[in-house]
Every structure is written in C-alpha cells, then in structure tokens.
C-alpha cells in the first residue's frame, strides 16, 4: 500500500528530475552561441567534464541502491553532458581541446573505471553502496565548486558574459529540491552536498545582479582584450618590417658644430645625428716652400806672408 509519505517522496523526486533536467538544458544557449560563432571563446570545459563525471557516479550509485528517480535523471544527464563536450571539442582551440581530452581520459575514464572495477571485484554488500554514495557526494561537491573558476572570472572582468544566469538559477532551485528528497529518503549522501550547492548558487546569482550592467561597472570583455592585443602585435610586426627612418645631415645644412634631431614613428624616440665632419674650408693658395737660410757672410782671413831680408 502506497502511503502519503511515499507519495510525497515520489512527488519531490519527480520535481527534482524536472529541475535537474532544466539544469542540464541551461547551457543550450551557450553552446548555440559556440556553434554560431564557431568558437568556444573564453568558455571553459571543466564544469561540464565534472558534471559528466558526477552524473556517471550517481548513475552507478542509483543502480546499486535501486533508486529509479535518481537513475532516470542521471542517465539523461550523461547523454546531454556528452553532447555538450562533443560540441566543445569540435570548436575549441587546439590547446583547450588537448586539455579537455586529457581531462576526460584521466578523470572520466581512468578514475571512474578504476573505482567501478575495485568496488565490483573487491567490495561486497552494503559497504559497496556506502562507498559509491560517499564518492558520489564528494564529486557532487566538485560540481558545485567548479563554477568558482567562473566566479573568479566574473570578479576579475566585472562582467557576467560567460556565467549563464539560468544555469545558476536552476542549479540553486534543484539543490533545494534534492536536499529535501534526501531528507525524506533518509539518504544523507544525496542531502548533504546540496547544502553547499545552495550556497554557491546564491553566490552566483548575487554576482549576476552586481555585474549584469557591463557599462556601469566598466567591464572588459576578455575577447575584446585578446583582439586588441593581437591587433597591437600585428601593428608592431608591420612597423618592424619597415626600414628605419634615417635623418641625413650634410655638412652644408648643419650650422658649424650644431646638433640636428629628428623623431621617428616607430618608437617615438628622438634620434640625434651629430655632424662630425669639419666644415669645408675656402680654397687657399698652397703655402710657398720655406726659403733656404741665407749663407753666412764670407770672412777674410789674412794669410801670413814670408819677408825676404837682403
């Protein structure tokens, strides 16, 4: 016989499924923008990778605990998050694509596969369910902590351009519903993580209303900053290819010993050109060779003469 308590649990579980489904659909405008622009811009893949891992863990826990409502929503979430990541990988830059592939391989395949293998082969009974529920709760906390990177980006840029509001809104409402579902089911693995989810959701909503007016807050789009930086770099490369501006000062143009200055367009610095050539001298007669020194006057020296005596 179905009691009122079971009906209430079922109703809350259905409401939680609906809200969680809306949470998974909240990024649809984001990925539609990615598809239209053929670029992921500044969007990050980490929240979606963590969300996929969380859905996989809760799916495994639902299979062990035979929770149909938890099983249904997480099966849908696995499919939807996989589609999001596929779109991201198609339009992401090479570095972001490589990083996302490594993250998926290590976390979603390696860690999840190792956990399932260990629990299936080395743990039995209720202990297996408890460990799976604890791991699922830990990664549920990671799902709520993952948007911290986006929160930091919003505070730095003073813009909510890359923080989807509806994702934060439905995430907060879903956390409230699943918290009460866990309490009614007496499943604290479901109830406890949603307390932190509620707090982070409220923080994101508060930031949205603080920074929703980009002009008022002086927001700077990271895309715009990157475009301006690329334009400046290209301009510098073009200027580097141009021959330098040389100022020529001829001896005739320079005033005796004066210094001529000119300003270049490349680095906006003064270039000083000093004329070190001596000024031209007027043509003069070649100096005559020096005269030979005058000969000294002749000195008459009388010679002695012999006197003959008779």
Percent of the chain residues topping a pLDDT of 90: 22
Q: Output the pLDDT for position 110.
A: 92
Q: Output the pLDDT for position 131.
A: 92
Q: What is the pLDDT of residues 232-247, one digit of tens each?
A: 777 777 777 765 554 5
- CA dist., res. 225 & res. 205, Å (int): 26
Q: Output the pLDDT for position 230.
A: 67
Select the more confidently predicted residue: 114 or 304: 114
- At 161, phi and psi to the nearest 5? -60, -35
Whether residue 204 has pLDDT greater than 70: yes
Residue among 17, 104, 16 nearest 56 (CA): 104
Whether residue 24 has pLDDT greater than 60: yes
In order of 106, 246, 281, the CA distances from 262 in angstroms are 61, 9, 27
Whether residue 136 has pLDDT greater than 70: yes
Whether residue 284 has pLDDT greater than 60: no
- At 262, phi and psi to the nearest 5? -145, 155
Q: Output the pLDDT for position 216.
A: 56
DSSP character for 252? Answer: T
Select the more confidently predicted residue: 151 or 291: 151
What number of residues does the chain have? 310
Return the residue matching tokens 């956390």.
175
Q: Is 76 exposed, middle or buried (0-12, 13-18, 19+ CB in 10 A)?
A: middle
Query: What pLDDT band is residue 288 in, cutting at 50, 70 and 90?
Result: low
Residue among 177, 134, 149, 142 nearest 21 (CA): 177
**What is the value of pTM for the model shown?**
0.61
Give the end-to-end CA distance of the chain in Å, rounded to a whole number: 198
Query: What pLDDT band is residue 254 in, cutting at 50, 70 and 90?
Result: very low
Q: Output the pLDDT for position 265.
A: 47
Query: What pLDDT band is residue 72 in, cutting at 50, 70 and 90?
Result: very high
Whether residue 259 has pLDDT greater than 50: no
Mean pLDDT of 191-212: 83
> Within the chain, where are the H helices?
4-25, 28-37, 46-65, 68-91, 94-103, 112-122, 125-145, 148-157, 165-185, 188-191, 193-211, 214-217, 222-241
Q: What is the pLDDT of residues 140-198, one digit of tens each?
A: 876 666 666 777 777 887 777 766 677 778 778 888 898 899 888 888 888 888 888 78
Q: Output the pLDDT for position 198.
A: 83
Q: Output the pLDDT for position 116.
A: 93
Select the more confidently predicted residue: 3 or 217: 3
DSSP character for 303? Answer: P
Whether residue 269 has pLDDT greater than 80: no
Whether residue 60 has pLDDT greater than 90: yes
């Amino acid at each position: 016989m179905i009691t009122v308590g079971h009906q209430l649990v079922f109703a809350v579980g259905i409401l939680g499924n609906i809200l969680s489904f809306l949470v998974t659909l909240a990024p649809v405008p984001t990925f539609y923008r990615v598809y239209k622009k053929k670029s992921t811009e500044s969007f990050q893949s980490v929240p979606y990778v963590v969300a996929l891992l969380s859905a996989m863990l809760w799916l495994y826990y639902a299979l062990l605990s035979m929770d149909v409502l938890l099983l249904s929503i997480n099966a849908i979430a696995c499919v939807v998050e996989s589609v999001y990541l596929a779109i991201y990988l198609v339009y992401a830059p090479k570095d972001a694509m490589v990083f996302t592939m490594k993250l998926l391989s290590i976390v979603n395949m390696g860690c999840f596969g190792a956990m399932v293998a260990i629990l299936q082969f080395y743990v039995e009974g209720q202990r297996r369910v408890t460990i799976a529920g604890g791991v699922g709760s830990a990664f549920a906390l990671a799902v709520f902590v993952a948007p911290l990177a986006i929160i930091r980006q919003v505070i730095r840029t003073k813009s909510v351009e890359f923080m989807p509001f509806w994702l934060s809104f439905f995430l907060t409402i879903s956390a409230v519903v699943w918290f009460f579902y866990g309490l009614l089911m007496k499943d604290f693995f479901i109830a406890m993580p949603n307390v932190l989810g509620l707090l982070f959701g409220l923080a994101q909503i508060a930031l949205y209303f603080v920074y929703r007016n980009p002009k008022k807050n002086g927001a700077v789009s990271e895309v715009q900053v990157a475009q301006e930086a690329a334009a400046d770099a290209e301009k510098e490369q073009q200027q580097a290819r141009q021959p330098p501006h040389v100022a020529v000062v001829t001896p005739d143009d320079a005033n005796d010993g004066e210094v001529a200055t000119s300003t270049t367009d490349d680095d906006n610095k003064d270039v000083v050109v000093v004329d070190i050539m001596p000024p031209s001298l007027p043509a003069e007669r070649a100096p005559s060779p020096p005269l030979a020194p005058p000969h000294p006057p002749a000195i008459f020296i009388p010679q002695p003469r012999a006197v003959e005596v008779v």
